Amino acid sequence: MPNAIELIVDGYVRLNNRRALDDLRMQRRKLAVDLKARTGFDFRTTVQQIEEDIAVIEAGLARLDGAAAS
């Protein structure tokens, strides 16, 4: 079963909403940077999940690029 980010990305791709995907990727990147800068708690698992989310978002952007090239 797909996780939430996969469903969200799939919806944005079907709607051809590149801006929403770019905004989502930027939000995830900022969150990862913020968590990496924090001390006193181990955020590695959370950062790993965020990086996986970014990979899913970038795959969605690639799908949009592929659809535009066709």
Tens digit of each residue's pLDDT, the chain (70 residues): 679 999 999 999 999 999 999 999 999 999 999 999 999 999 999 999 999 999 999 999 999 998 777 6
Query: Are the C-beta atoms of residues 36 and 68 closer than 8 Å to each other?
Result: no
What is the reported pTM? 0.90
Q: Domain count of the chain?
A: 1
Query: Are the C-beta atoms of residues 18 and 69 closer than 8 Å to each other?
Result: no
Angle at CA 62, nearest 5°, toward 15 and 28?
80
* Structural domain boundaries enclosing 60: 4-69
The predicted structure's pLDDT at residue 69? 73
The predicted structure's pLDDT at residue 62? 97
The predicted structure's pLDDT at residue 70? 65
Q: Residue 63 has which token pair?
A: 């799908």
